Chain A
Amino acid sequence: MSLTHFILLFKRQWFENRKAWLIGSAAIAAILAFLFLLAWQWQTSFNGDTSHGIFLILLFCGGGVFMSTILKDLGNKQKGIWFLILPASSAAKLSIALVYGIIIYLAAYFVLFYGVKEIVVTIVAPAGSSWGNFDLFKNGFYQFLFTFVGFQSIILLGSVYFNKSQFLKTLLIIFIGLFVSFNGNSLLLKLITGESHIDSNTPLDSFQFAYQGENMYVYLPDAASVAMSVLLWLIVPVCLWVITWYRLKEKEL
């Protein structure tokens, strides 16, 4: 992968899409402001910290839409051919998608989120109020970054795998995948443990069962939990990038 090709592709992506991205940024800022105002207006009705919820909703929704558009040309026959014959390697094209869809989007989203939040807090919240306090790194919340990278990697793979309605099809696959894995694992756990009162589970992490009206929680041992995190947060995204790279190469052929 040549650095020159990477920089040229980076610039091409920016110049071709900057107007749409600026409009998208304005839309995200407007939705953020609206959600913050809603949360302020009904602050006593919401149970818990709303800032984290607002942060995640637009991070994933906006991020998913953004990532799905980066290689959108592949869905159009003429533009797709033009994209595939661009004098840059598949690795360079994939890197551009990852840099824009993960690093640039995250950076831009942080700026938008914190900027809009500060403006709303300054306007509506009285001085000294703790409303709107948002600590990204409290209570392990930073782990969302890994989930976000995994999510974006799946969206990117979907945008290369499918020819039409890539984003919707990928979302559908994600929902079906989650539904099957959670419900299937629940059945599997009942079979393996013999416990029939399993209420919920998180594959590769834990399950919950009811005992005499009390919820009981079963978690993986710490060492196994770390190993599962490495698998889900590092190995799986890298595998998804490799598959996307192969898929791009296969399309070029």
Chain B
Amino acid sequence: MKTSNKILTALLLVLLATTIFADFLLKKVYLKINLNDPFKNYQPVSIQPFKYLKIRGGNGYAIEIKQAPLNMKVMTKRKNFLAVRQNGDTLLIGFTVISSMSMRDPESLPRGIIISNPRIAAIIADGSNNILTDWKADSLKLTLMGNAAVNINGADIGKLTAIGNYNTIFNFHTANKVRDLDLRLSNHATAILKGIDYTDLSPWLTNDSQLIFGAQAASKLSMLGRE
């Protein structure tokens, strides 16, 4: 047998043996999965306490931000797309999983990342689809850039400063309560005030940005006008 054939055969045998070995390692991981865990498809990401959150993302998956003890999980399938960096009290997240350009509703997407923190002062999201759930705070500054979108549900916030830049969407979806809503929209940004109860509204819109009112928010507007 020629030397080249011998080495080729040896290489194929090594690959076969390694494949079998890897399959046994996969079995170990498989047996550790708790199929009753609702987050069985996620794995934890180690992070330090933070006050400011900066996300640079794609529109393929949603990023859910919850008010709960410090924790972060990433969908196991997409862990290779995640880059996390901590700069003092700022948590920087890169998660640029891109899908069809038309995906603008975060609720229709699987959660790629779930972050929870007891308190956040400001969130900057660039290009990502985000979901803000049950957020209660005296104040919050929320900035969206570059096609980012956020669905806000169950929020109870004293002063919310929402700044929307290029083609971004704020969707106040369900059961939100905001005392002082400061909306600054520019360059085709949109805010949908559907499920929101507000006391003061300060809108500032430029360059084809738009503000859409649901029935509840619109009735509030006419009440404010009478006052």
User: A228 vs B77: C-alpha distance in the bound complex, in angstroms?
Assistant: 18
B35:A204 contact, CB within 8 angstroms: no
Which residues in window 172-206 of A have CB below 8 A to B? 181, 185, 188-189, 192-193, 195, 203-206
User: A216 vs B26: C-alpha distance in the bound complex, in angstroms?
Assistant: 13
At the interface, yes or no: A82 with Cβ under 8 Å from chain B? no
At the interface, yes or no: A138 with Cβ under 8 Å from chain B? yes
At the interface, yes or no: B224 with Cβ under 8 Å from chain A? no
User: Contact partner of A195 among B19, B22, B30, CB < 8 A?
Assistant: B30
Which of B1-9, B64-72, B148-156, B211-219 lines the interface with chain A?
Answer: B1-9
At the interface, yes or no: B85 with Cβ under 8 Å from chain A? no
A243:B19 contact, CB within 8 angstroms: no
Chain B interface residues (CB < 8 Å from chain A):
2-4, 7-8, 11, 15, 18-20, 22-27, 29-31, 33, 35, 40-41, 60, 76-77, 79-81, 96-102, 146
B4:A220 contact, CB within 8 angstroms: no
User: Contact partner of A231 among B2, B7, B8, B18, CB < 8 A?
Assistant: B18
A224 contact set on B, CB distance < 8 A: 22, 25
A94 to chain B, nearest CB (A): 12
A246:B22 contact, CB within 8 angstroms: no
A219:B23 contact, CB within 8 angstroms: no
Which residues in window 37-62 of A have CB below 8 A to B? 43-44, 47-49
At the interface, yes or no: A124 with Cβ under 8 Å from chain B? no
User: A48 vs B35: C-alpha distance in the bound complex, in angstroms?
Assistant: 31
Residues A243 and B7 in contact in the complex (CB < 8 Å), given A206-B26, A219-B29, A220-B22: yes
Residues A246 and B3 in contact in the complex (CB < 8 Å), given A189-B26, A220-B22: yes
At the interface, yes or no: A207 with Cβ under 8 Å from chain B? yes
Using CB atoms, name the residue of chain B closest to A177. Answer: B12
